[in-house]
Structure 1
Amino acid sequence: MIESQTTEFKQIWKDEYLKTVCAFANTDGGVLYVGFDDFGNIVGIENSKKLIETLPNKINNRLGIIVDIILKEQAKKNYLEIVIKKTYAPISYNGKFYLRSGSNTIELNGSNLTNFLLKKYGKTWDDIPEEKFTLDEIDLETIEKFKKLSKDRVPDIEKEDNIEQLLRKLNLYDGNYLKRAAILLFAKNPQKYYIQSHSKIGKFLNDTEIQSSDIVEGNLLNQVDKIMDILRLKYLKAYISYEGMHRRERLEYPFEALREAVINALIHRDYTNTSNLQIKVFENKLIMYNGATLSTEVPIDKFDKPHQSKPFNPTMANIFYKCGYIENWGRGTNNIIKQCLDYDLPKPKFEYEWTALVTTFFKADQKTDQKTDQKTDQKSTKEQILEILEINDKMTRESLAEKIGVSSSAIKQHIAKLQSEGRLKRVGGRKEGSWKVLNTKE
């Protein structure tokens, strides 16, 4: 046997081990063996019969729980097996709360303690009522915006003119008081109650030198649009191309992937954390830092795989779903990855450090050209397309993508640019037609 989240070894009994019993009860239950060394080797105990008599009452009196204590023998040595079941009410020892994390017993404090207590009572942070907040502080323009956005998924909501009834239908009331979710989603000034609920955007020359910055305040439904507008208009480059008379604008990163990441960050933020959403834009990458507490059911290594939806703030997530901002299928991170790969960009990186989820978007993969319209030492993707089509004018997009090593959607975008530049022409239909290279020099 080895020590784990549900197993602990002690050579002798000490009353301070009551915090280990407390931690087992607050987590998944477990077994505390008394009479073993740290490596799981039996050493035996001398006062086993006395402990059998005294420990049940001591644990019950100090922790308020009943455990099973079994006297066992192995190699002519006695030991105790203390079996602790998981409790559904929070258990404290000397006024402090403990959990098991791996083979360690840790004391809870701050936001971790708050979230633990809420979870034990079947509540989440955004579902708690805020007695000081009044209906007069609701932003009516945001309400109207929500009604228009949600008419497809909640058709009747558009006809509801009574604001209180509308918010009650959205489960944003607890008795006579509005919930925290209502403040963050619809308040005129949610930062009055939760100052950390604003977001920051900055342009960085390096890790320490900042060129410009913006602070985005207001409710979350409006923050989404504000953040995306600021990124698009001020912080990200856009490459312009033309398809005939139609102007095409392509951002450095896929707009929908960034928007999905921003929405996910606002929904899954741990608002007991005093940090805010921070978006750092560098020359070669974009990083989002978001204070969060990850679900044990969806660890960071599952973000790039299909997984269930486990929003940290489910009440707020339900509103974002109703207005069409998200899907309740746990596909957010998968969509972000797919959109970046389809954009011919590297797979984003998801990391968890210092109680923050860090999402990093990268520019062009080092294995491909940095920019399709920039001359490099290697031949650009566009030049490779022209050379291949000169030899085989019936090559499909899929075949070009496989030969050059980029995505099919990237080939489509490059071909559109070549056509708008007058360097490539399609002769005939999609199935029977062919390509005609008009000019092979940039």
Structure 2
Amino acid sequence: MKQRFLETLHLEENYKRECKLAENGLPVSIWETYSSFANTEGGVILLGVREHRDSFEVNGLTERQLVKYQKDFWSVVNDRNKVSKNILLNHHVAVVEVEGKKLLQIEVPEADRHDKPVYIGPDPMKGTYRRNYEGDYLCAEEEIRAMFADQREVSVDSEILEKMTLDALNVDTIKGYRIRFKGLHENHPWNKLQTDEFLMKLKAVGKNKEGNLSPTVAGLLMFGEAEYIQDVFSNYFLDYREETENEKVRWLYRTTSDDGDWSGNLYDFYYKVINRIDDDVAVPFVNRRNGARVDEVDVHEALAEAVVNALAHADYQGRRGIVIVKNRKKITIANPGTLRVSREDFFAGGNSDPRNPLVLKMFSRVNVGERAGSGIDKIMTAWREQNWKKPEFITEYSPDRVIVKLEVGQVVYIPGAADLRGKGYELESAEVTSRIKEDAIKYNAMSKEEQILSYLQRHGEISMGQATELCGYKTKSAARKLMEKLREKNRIERIGSGPMTRYRIKS
């Protein structure tokens, strides 16, 4: 009975539905539900029916009631003294028929971020509601202020931090970024600029009111030291951990922005995480082009998109920070804040509306992240092609969080991806061939030192064997001399000993 009722009205079995008998007039509580649906993910209000756990009680409405309720509803929703914003069009309110009885259906879409919060009465702090699995609830002041902040056309991350100096930025992070930028854009005119000029071009810094340079919010988040970032965003926290099913072991590995042995900024966090997060993605394709290894497929790119999306869409004023948890093949990525577009637009792609567009742009300049809003599409497509479990995207409120749950596995062969089945370097896709050629040429154009430093920025560590292979040396002795030269320049440090010796950028 219940399922048939839902199918008749094309509704899903979820919490985005409110049923009221409305026997004695338009229910007063309808406005709390209108506000909550508009401020959350939309929903449907049905008048003339009551919902029970396993069934619906369909009473229906008379013609007189239908006329009166529609008139009363439109009168109130258009009254700015009673409701802050009417986000409905005529077709959103309609008479529907079920079991020979007529109901009034009011479809409330999710409000655009420019219209949120949608509230009842004159005071948003006392009349703003949201919806969760338990029903409508009155929003906390923190949630309401976050909605007002999202109305801004000028992004928060473009703001110049007037009282902060460039000492807040990490020199090594900037160097690493420039090395990668140069490797990808060999002839770019920015490569000839002084560091300050380069950062101005990136909009990582700008002139303050006194004519001196100060970081922008985006520049501080990308290149700053954690202690300075926390001066601006007291709740700022980045957390990556690898967990196990063994209850006696808390975690196998963990790094946070509070560790103190690295910068704690977004750029360095990304590269510390991305090389570890896809270790369990078993990829059967290993290829070489001019000595350079090429073993990335769309799954790796999709995982990178998921991480960057969290960094670029996060509300750094929000609580609990960015948390990435890997438990074998299960990966959970959570960031503070809500989606700034409807879920429908979010999954459609092309309109991501990032909360921190400058952060996203800085990542995209080093070929990380999508500026066109297609990141979600890349994730869904990659998982669908591999026949893996469909990714989950969850929005939570109070505190606001977006959570992505991914499960990875063995990558299967897809035409157009790199393949080892033949002796030569074979690709069935001209587009992929072109991209790999371009990357290889750019990489080989770098000096040996730049190649090592660029690799370390991306992967965190390198062995002597990997360094030998990366630079195209025939013996390890040549690579050893290069690594000792970088150590003498204080650019890298050695960790471990014997066969376990590794090198990393000196912090």
- Taking structure 1 as the reference length, the TM-score comes to 0.56
CA shift at 1:178, angstroms? Answer: 4.5
Corresponding position of 2:269: 223
On the 8 A contact 1:239/1:249 being kept in 2, the answer is: no
Corresponding position of 2:61: 41
Shift in alpha-carbon separation, 1:296–1:236, aligned structure 2, 3 A: closer
Corresponding position of 2:128: 98
Aligned residue runs from structure 1 range 184-223, under 5 A: 184-189=221-226, 190-191=229-230, 193-205=233-245, 210-217=250-257, 218-223=264-269
Separation in structure 1 between the aligned mates of residue 341 and residue 325 of structure 2, nearest angstrom: 25
1:230-249 Cα offsets, whole Å, 9 max, x none, are 4578x788989899xx8979
Separation in structure 2 between the aligned mates of residue 15 and residue 240 of structure 1, nearest angstrom: 62
Query: What SS does the corresponding residue of 1:412 show, helix, strand or coil?
Result: coil
Corresponding position of 1:259: 304
Separation in structure 1 between the aligned mates of residue 340 and residue 236 of structure 2, nearest angstrom: 21
On the 8 A contact 1:202/1:210 being kept in 2, the answer is: no
Corresponding position of 1:360: 406
Shift in alpha-carbon separation, 1:133–1:107, aligned structure 2, 3 A: farther
Say which of 291, 311, 331 aligns to 2:335.
291
In the alignment, does 2:367 pair up with 1:347? no
1:61-112 Cα offsets, whole Å, 9 max, x none, are 5667899xxxxxxxxxxxxxx9x9x885856544334257699755333664
Query: What SS does the corresponding residue of 1:330 show, helix, strand or coil?
Result: coil
CA shift at 1:222, angstroms? Answer: 1.5
CA shift at 1:182, angstroms? Answer: 2.4
Corresponding position of 2:322: 276
1:209-267 Cα offsets, whole Å, 9 max, x none, are 5451221432111222222344578x788989899xx8979699954443333223322
Aligned residues: 352
CA shift at 1:280, angstroms? Answer: 0.9
Corresponding position of 1:412: 419
Shift in alpha-carbon separation, 1:276–1:266, aligned structure 2, 3 A: same
Query: What SS does the corresponding residue of 2:242 show, helix, strand or coil?
Result: strand
1:366-391 Cα offsets, whole Å, 9 max, x none, are xx8xxxxxxxxxxxxxxxxxxxxxxx
Shift in alpha-carbon separation, 1:240–1:102, aligned structure 2, 3 A: closer
> Identity of paired residues, percent?
19
Shift in alpha-carbon separation, 1:277–1:132, aligned structure 2, 3 A: farther
On the 8 A contact 2:340/2:353 being kept in 1, the answer is: yes
Corresponding position of 1:331: 374
Separation in structure 1 between the aligned mates of residue 177 and residue 352 of structure 2, nearest angstrom: 22
CA shift at 1:187, angstroms? Answer: 0.5
Separation in structure 2 between the aligned mates of residue 154 and residue 322 of structure 1, nearest angstrom: 14
In the alignment, does 2:341 pair up with 1:311? no
Corresponding position of 1:400: none
1:153-205 Cα offsets, whole Å, 9 max, x none, are 99444344363883476276596574432221110223554554313121424
Corresponding position of 2:146: 115
Shift in alpha-carbon separation, 1:196–1:208, aligned structure 2, 3 A: farther
Corresponding position of 1:438: none
Q: Give the RMSD, CA atoms, in angstroms.
A: 5.7
Query: What SS does the corresponding residue of 2:150 show, helix, strand or coil?
Result: helix
Query: What runs of 5+ residues in structure 2 fail to find an aligned partner?
Result: 1-8, 51-57, 88-105, 258-263, 425-507
Query: What SS does the corresponding residue of 1:294 show, helix, strand or coil?
Result: coil
2:221 is matched by which residue type in structure 1?
A: L
Corresponding position of 2:473: none
Say which of 140, 143, 162 aligns to 2:174.
143
- Taking structure 2 as the reference length, the TM-score comes to 0.50
CA shift at 1:351, angstroms? Answer: 0.7
Separation in structure 1 between the aligned mates of residue 357 and residue 167 of structure 2, nearest angstrom: 25
Which structure has the higher relative contact order (CA within 8 Å, separation 6+)?
2
